[in-house]
Structure 1
């Protein structure tokens, strides 16, 4: 903790001096300061208020400036300011509550910027302010407070995991950065941690198939991580916190401008080297981790504000879990059991708008991922390279908003297992060219229909067609109804997606040459805004969905407890449910965000003349989330209470297993107190307030922990993090220009 407080002291001495004219002030609404509000001069964004509602624009020359303020839920405000040379002006803005619907800009649903409530596809948007209510070291953990989304830990030893959307497992979720599909397969399991939080502008989530635009893997949903634009990013940002378990997370961001170029740098460093065994099974409760991630983004100001940006990221992580006596000298050996994973990954992505009258954008990404792991005596060495190119044409006609595109994706994959579909290290090369078209048709001011169709050719599986249909009915300024229908497809690579295939002593059996999965989805969505004159509007969103799967890939843990048997389901699978989200702000600035999801994810297997219906393993039948913020303005404090709750899940068991077949109802709850002082925030609190861990009341958590190299050893009985209550303390700072 000493280093943390020293860092606070250094940050407080950080100052930026104006070199010429300056305009600064605060933005409020109903006497409440508004954080992260966009400030534009004409159409160009020149500043964003900090976490306390203050902004600053300096290095201004003499002249007239037209400042415009936009904030979600409030009416726009503008003011013309005349600035003399070397003047410093204080200009405050007080916004009025908007009488119409919320107006976030989103891109994930239609691959183009549209007003959120004008989009035919429902998109959920989460800002950095939402995730600050429960600070975490990575995106994976941050998503635990999003309704319908659950980070699933897949192994009690190395703690790797994936992200479930509406009960569907991680491989059905596509994770993109700025729309580029660079977080997939190996990186979904190992590389999702370490995306620098300092450079995240927002996270957009689409629940349901998005394969007609994004292709394979977007079967269950899409998580699009949008990085900050250079115009809105602070010159310097820092977020450092430590926990009583010994975890240290550092997140730094820098911006440098030079002429028409702007550079953003993000750095994330996480260190946890404190083996703890509170459940006395002689295995680490939480994986030891040491990782660093560096993100660089460059943008160039072009004529007519044409887009050009280039970004890259390097990620390295060293993690291990296992018996408390394990060290690196025992890696890959049979003296002490350990799971040691070295991950090295770099990524490149960019966007270039062609210098044409028509809006045509060329996008590309490339990633190289190398994995060197040892699961006990089982080595897993893999290399994956993915190159992606896409050209889109955005064309607006009378009553039509067209998007046409062509894409080419190449995947190179090789490892030392049968995942490469050949002996030894035979490489697997997959080409996936595709074309797509989307038309958003405005029938009248109240009705829009979106039609989409994508054709892909997979070099291994042939032709793949994915249609899409959406209808939006804008009943009035406060109520919107949406219907979405579409299909999705997914080509499966078991070992890059199912960590259970490598850990423990179960034998992996693949019965047939696995066929691609295909899904058919129907989604209904209703959004209503309750406008109130005295304070911010309340927003209620209701959804219902039904998804039907063909050729579902299932992992059978139960036919033979010493095996994991993979095969296409001889029958079908379904995912159906309903959900509700409520966003409510009271007159005293108390804010509540809460949600509830009820779902059924199950398989129907045709055995002889019988149909056997089973609930999917490790899938909750219901879940709830909440985030309550109470400001204490007199003392410049704010209090956050966040949490989630999950219904009982079906769990994988061994032969004669005394552990329960279902998990209990469980909940993770957190509290935080934040002190705000202009650019500086000090925060601290407790995580896992109820001190819940999955081992409570069990004879053991890991099967066969006393004999980890023999049959019967299995760490897959896991549904929640095995980390108890802990305190945390941190400091956060944003310095605008």
Structure 2
């Protein structure tokens, strides 16, 4: 008993021998208190938040050396080294604004430059922006970007493309790390399967960028920039499930391989296997999907910090939609209708800086896309291969920042449709030059010129000019003008044609489209004395197209007619984005776009199909620091758009209603390295069938077995077919998925 008592006494003395101290202090901005700032000891679980007057206390701190960090949204994180041997009562952090204009962008000028100095307006979106409304792919995530709309093109298989400022998907170029490996046939697939935690940022340029990027960058471009391996987490995982049965998993790691290489590995898996038919048309509301993507990126250390990186990605997907009783045994038959798509795709891309004194880089990419699909009893077998290489010489002189480039792009495309009798194969060599001239401390002008040669169309020249005026540190005015072009690269994965409802008609040899664009942009950063930050970004644009290639759904409801427009097409509009950090854990953004996209032929002006006149997006966040909870409310609003109806008797509305998708999410980040999040998507339970008698025409007769035609091939109205329709799933303008809950877990080890 005495031994036990002695042990207790000694243990008690040992406890009291360990002294603990308090660290008290305050966080301010320009001597104004900052409440709810996170203050914590780095690499530990000890932390707190400041009170309404900016004061904080860290308790029970043992003697030793520590790094104390103060972190707050909208301000630069600040860390101070502190030696603790007694109580500290006056540790002060005076935080500076985190100027988002200083983000480094590369898309506008093909070289790293801060947004503040870029003559070309570039929008930048971080993973934190997309985490406000978690999605299984970047394609869906872009729905919250003002002026950008993911367009679903088929009610049955749900594939689609990206619209920028109202222009169709073929006008948008999608890049991964600056490489044009996603285009045409592969757009919707190329934007799926990139693990979200591997994305450093997404950069968007609205308006023609053909001077630097060539064909397809007519309406704008999207550059998905992946993380450098050394900047990536050691281990990461992010998984969520929805009430509809969707499962999405992102996972990966980085590792040192020897002394000179760093490996970044990531994978994405998505599965949806739950047949749902809420609109009772006997067709799946959402395609069933089984998808896996593997991403691998290497960075190598070289002398004088020269660049050498290599990345590869493999993507496989099995998706199908159709009648509820369909199964793979019906694939390709005319018994039960289904659209089944097997996609296999791989990509390789990299960058090598030459071992010379000048800054010269060689960049390259290759992609191979194989698609085996059937639409009912119509097979669609397609291959697409794209090889690209370019040499860039970055040369700075007094008041001149020069960029010289030579490039070559090889395109191969073949399918089994009548639109591609022989394989479409072309090699397009290019040369371009760019000079950014510093006129004064406040003014810059950028001049660019590109020459491409296409043996099908001859020489193509695209100039551009950009002027930047910076009257103050927080005001930027940019004026951009130039031309763009798009060579003929007609893919016939038009679902309305492949289902048999419409035939593809190419009336003539198609010439390249040309565009002429002017864009005026004004950006203003506003700081208030109470610590609030506002960013205003306004743009007005006008784009004029000649030789426009626009699918004609109107002349004959049983055909899609392709021809160069005998007239002109115009895209014009204005947009405004406002970002705000209001303090006390509240931040948000709102954007709106007014636009008109039309074509004029034979003096008749018509509105472009599937193009909204106005759109709005918003994101509102509130973080309650004491409870580690963050509430995110996101949404979008789209105005009416003209839809592809099948004739005068078609009872479906010719114009869509004004519609909105809204989401809410709650996130808890009080655990070390873990976040738990959950919420509700599509709070209004909106789907395109609202107010329409049906979405899919003749869903009860998908093979048109009971449709009668006259001698000219026109559909006849009969008692069995009073609206004179054929089967057609192309009447779609938004996601056909209603309200659903979701729950997820995110792990990051840095």
Query: TM class by shorter-chain length?
Result: 0.7 to 0.9
Pick closer, same or farther for the CA change 1:99–1:696 going to 2, 3 Å: closer
Which of the residues 629, 647, 660 maps onto 2:653? 660
Question: Could you say which structure has the larger radius of gyration?
Answer: 2
> What is the aligned partner in structure 2 of residue 587 from structure 1?
583
**Structure 2: how far apart are the matches of 1:604 and 1:419?**
26
Pick closer, same or farther for the CA change 1:172–1:264 going to 2, 3 Å: same
Find out whether 1:676 has 2:669 as its counterpart: yes
> What is the aligned partner in structure 2 of residue 311 from structure 1?
311
Structure 1 unaligned residues grouped into runs of 5+: 1-26, 40-46, 54-63, 83-91
Pick closer, same or farther for the CA change 1:438–1:499 going to 2, 3 Å: farther
SS in 2 for 1:187: helix
SS in 2 for 1:190: helix
CA contact (8 A) 1:72 1:102 kept: no
> What is the aligned partner in structure 1 of residue 638 from structure 2?
646
> What is the aligned partner in structure 2 of residue 362 from structure 1?
362
> What is the aligned partner in structure 2 of residue 479 from structure 1?
475
> What is the aligned partner in structure 2 of residue 462 from structure 1?
458
SS in 1 for 2:229: coil
Q: CA deviation at 1:560?
A: 1.1
SS in 2 for 1:379: strand
> What is the aligned partner in structure 1 of residue 8 from structure 2?
none
CA contact (8 A) 1:288 1:321 kept: yes
The 5 Å alignment of 1:170-209 reads: 170-209=169-208
TM-score by length of 2: 0.86
Runs of 4+ in 1 over 6 A off after TM superposition: 64-72, 78-82
**Structure 2: how far apart are the matches of 1:232 and 1:372?**
38
Q: Deviations over 1:355-393 (max 9, x none)?
A: 111111100000111010101111110111111011000
TM-score by length of 1: 0.87
Find out whether 1:634 has 2:626 as its counterpart: yes
SS in 2 for 1:280: coil
**Structure 2: how far apart are the matches of 1:383 and 1:334?**
25
**Structure 2: how far apart are the matches of 1:467 and 1:34?**
50
CA contact (8 A) 1:450 1:470 kept: yes
> What is the aligned partner in structure 2 of residue 718 from structure 1?
732
Q: CA deviation at 1:117?
A: 1.5
> What is the aligned partner in structure 2 of residue 576 from structure 1?
572
Q: CA deviation at 1:419?
A: 3.6
**Structure 1: how far apart are the matches of 2:359 and 2:82?**
33
The 5 Å alignment of 1:280-679 reads: 280-420=280-420, 422=421, 426-496=422-492, 498-606=494-602, 611-655=603-647, 656-677=649-670, 678-679=672-673
The 5 Å alignment of 1:130-209 reads: 130-209=129-208
The 5 Å alignment of 1:212-223 reads: 212-223=211-222
CA contact (8 A) 2:139 2:188 kept: no
**Structure 1: how far apart are the matches of 2:72 and 2:306?**
24
SS in 1 for 2:158: coil
Q: Deviations over 1:388-440 (max 9, x none)?
A: 011000001000000100001111211111343x2xxx322100100000000
Q: CA deviation at 1:198?
A: 1.9
**Structure 2: how far apart are the matches of 1:77 and 1:634?**
20
Q: CA deviation at 1:219?
A: 0.3
**Structure 2: how far apart are the matches of 1:155 and 1:660?**
17
**Structure 2: how far apart are the matches of 1:636 and 1:76?**
18
Q: CA deviation at 1:102?
A: 2.7
CA contact (8 A) 1:358 1:395 kept: yes
SS in 2 for 1:495: coil
SS in 2 for 1:553: coil
> What is the aligned partner in structure 2 of residue 9 from structure 1?
none
Find out whether 1:687 has 2:684 as its counterpart: no
**Structure 2: how far apart are the matches of 1:519 and 1:216?**
11
Pick closer, same or farther for the CA change 1:262–1:81 going to 2, 3 Å: farther
Q: CA deviation at 1:98?
A: 2.9
CA RMSD of aligned residues (A): 2.5
Q: CA deviation at 1:532?
A: 2.3
Q: CA deviation at 1:257?
A: 1.1
CA contact (8 A) 2:38 2:71 kept: no
**Structure 2: how far apart are the matches of 1:473 and 1:729?**
47
Pick closer, same or farther for the CA change 1:168–1:32 going to 2, 3 Å: farther
Q: CA deviation at 1:492?
A: 2.9
Pick closer, same or farther for the CA change 1:511–1:662 going to 2, 3 Å: same
CA contact (8 A) 2:497 2:559 kept: no
**Structure 2: how far apart are the matches of 1:216 and 1:71?**
43
Q: CA deviation at 1:243?
A: 0.4
Alignment length (residue pairs): 670
**Structure 2: how far apart are the matches of 1:93 and 1:191?**
49
Structure 2 unaligned residues grouped into runs of 5+: 1-26, 50-64, 84-90, 708-725
Q: CA deviation at 1:460?
A: 1.4
CA contact (8 A) 1:189 1:497 kept: no
Pick closer, same or farther for the CA change 1:189–1:675 going to 2, 3 Å: closer
CA contact (8 A) 2:417 2:492 kept: no
CA contact (8 A) 1:487 1:521 kept: yes
Pick closer, same or farther for the CA change 1:144–1:339 going to 2, 3 Å: same
SS in 1 for 2:230: coil
